[in-house]
Amino acid sequence: MRISAQEGDVIVTHALGSCLGVAVHDPVACVGGLLHVMLPLSTIDPAKAQANPFMFVDTGFPELLAECFETGALRQRLEVRVAGGANSWNRGEDDFFQIGKRNLVVLRKLLWKNGLLLKSYDVGGTASRTMSLEIGSGKVTIKSGGQIKNL
Amino acid sequence: MSKKLETELFKAATLTFEELGFLLPTPEIDEQQLNAQVEAAVSVDFDGPFSGKLLVRVCGGLLPIITANMLGEEDIPSKSLQYDALGEIANVICGNMLPGIAGSKDVFHVSAPKISESVDLPPVAEVQVGLGMGRADLLLFVSRYPALAEE
Amino acid sequence: MALNILVVDDSSVMRAIIIKTLHLSQLPMGEVHEAANGQEALKVLDGNWIDLALVDINMPVMDGEEMINRLKQNPATSDLPIIIVSTEGSESRKEVLMQKGARFVHKPFTPETLRDAILRTLGGLDEQKAGNGTI
């Protein structure tokens, strides 16, 4: 997880398969953060969550928000974008563990409780994604399957 | 026939508990979930090419959590809101299950949910869904089924 | 321009979910009115200026379809923008309702889906683009 208030910074995270990349940005304060979470709930390994809260959606996302607010972001101005949550198989039903979908369910719960809607999202499918956040502009770019797009 | 009913019931329940309740359903029930105490049950009646009832029972302290999740709140909601939430869960599961069984051409009228204790008829399909420390039991009763009886 | 919105659903929890979504959608909100069925909704419309109605179908006393028929018969309300928020799975019933000018949001919905439907229905507001992938 990285937070920045430096206008020229670009934060990038790679290999978003079933993991989620969550980008938050306050365009007025020029504060942004990018989180790469792997698993939905920290209850499966509380010790690991203590050591690395950013591994889990339920501990990582609140931490991302808290650090952004400490750095000067305001909730009502925050733009949230998410990418990733892919399936292991072409048909979602064949993906036995459904980690990608479950990561998204837990994230959506936390967004709702925190009074945040997604500005945009690129989730599902089977391809891996790379996500980058430009702190100056708030622009989020997704690279996947040889293609680049703005989110 | 019963297998198809159970599949559609499970699919509709999973969709609803994930998207509306922000929970992570599992088809396997562990011992703690199996022994969870019944909290509440509601049923909805449906009437169309075939008629019947869907009963949804939650066990294991789930109802306050489901309700708080749906509202996006931290505080435990009132009992009246909890029953309302369970009724809406039943309504959404039923509405999503019926096209899976009957196809998208048929029109069904789904009644307002009501608090339910038990039903005298045997269910035509029954599904249990593991939800955290508790579970939901879904029982489908069909009282008039000329089309289904042909299959 | 502040928007007056009417939310019609027999579930008070569902009405709360829709109202929370309205507030989070950064719309210029005026008054929000609630009704638990079509009959109550028509009474609200009688006494208040409403810019948008979000309506469930399966409700006791008067269902959403009947309510929409009555709105269409009354010149004062026939142009009211309507979004149906329902589990309705019958394509034929949905087709009939959409031909009456209603947009459709299927339950369960994400708040972004509802937000986008509202923005498209009202038009004239900056549309926020949602992503193109869903699980």
Residues A31-63 pLDDT 10s: 999 999 999 999 999 999 999 999 999 999 999
Which residues contact residue C95 at a Cβ distance below 8 angstroms, ignoring those fewer than 6 apart? Answer: none
ipTM, 2 dp: 0.92
- pLDDT tens digit sequence for B75-104: 999 999 999 999 999 999 999 999 998 888
Q: Which amino acid is at C84?
A: I
CB A128 within 8 A of CB A17: yes
In sequence order, the β-bridge partners of residue A37 are A20
CA dihedral in degrees (C85, B105, A93, A147; nearest 10)? -70
pLDDT tops 60 at residue C132: no
Predicted pLDDT of residue C126:
45
**How far away is chain B from the Cα of C20, in angstroms, using its nearest Cα?**
8
User: CB distance B24–A115 less than 8 Å?
Assistant: no
Selected catalytic residue, list A1, A19, A23, A57: A19
Q: Chain B interface, mutation test: which of A39, A42, A91, A112, most B Cβ atoms within 10 Å?
A: A112
Residue in B34, B33, B5, B32 with CA at minimum distance from that of residue B93: B5
**How far away is chain B from the Cα of A110, in angstroms, using its nearest Cα?**
8
Q: Annotated catalytic, A30?
A: no
Average per-residue pLDDT in chain A? 93
Chain C residues in contact with B95 (beta carbon < 8 A): 58, 86-89, 107
Tokens of B6: 């159970």
Select from B16, B67, B105 the Cβ nearest to the Cβ of C91.
Answer: B105
3-state secondary structure of C14: helix
Predicted pLDDT of residue C88:
87
pLDDT tops 70 at residue C96: yes
Average per-residue pLDDT in chain B? 91
- pLDDT tens digit sequence for A97-121: 789 999 999 999 999 999 999 999 9
- pLDDT tens digit sequence for B30-60: 999 999 999 999 999 999 999 999 999 999 9
Chain B residues in contact with C13 (beta carbon < 8 A): 67, 70-71, 81, 84-85, 88
Predicted pLDDT of residue A96:
65
- pLDDT tens digit sequence for B131-140: 999 999 999 9
Predicted pLDDT of residue A98:
85
Domains of chain C are 1-47 (3.40.970)
User: CB distance B98–C86 less than 8 Å?
Assistant: no
Predicted pLDDT of residue C1:
81
Chain A residues in contact with C111 (beta carbon < 8 A): 112, 117
pLDDT tops 90 at residue B149: no
Tokens of C64: 């959403």
pLDDT tops 80 at residue A94: no
CB A10 within 8 A of CB A132: yes
Tokens of A36: 């790469």
Chain B residues in contact with C25 (beta carbon < 8 A): none
Residue of A nearest to C26 (CA): A76
pLDDT band (50, 70, 90) for residue A88? confident
Predicted pLDDT of residue A90:
63
User: CB distance A106–B73 less than 8 Å?
Assistant: no
3-state secondary structure of B84: helix
| Longest distance between any two alpha carbons in chain A, whole Å | 44
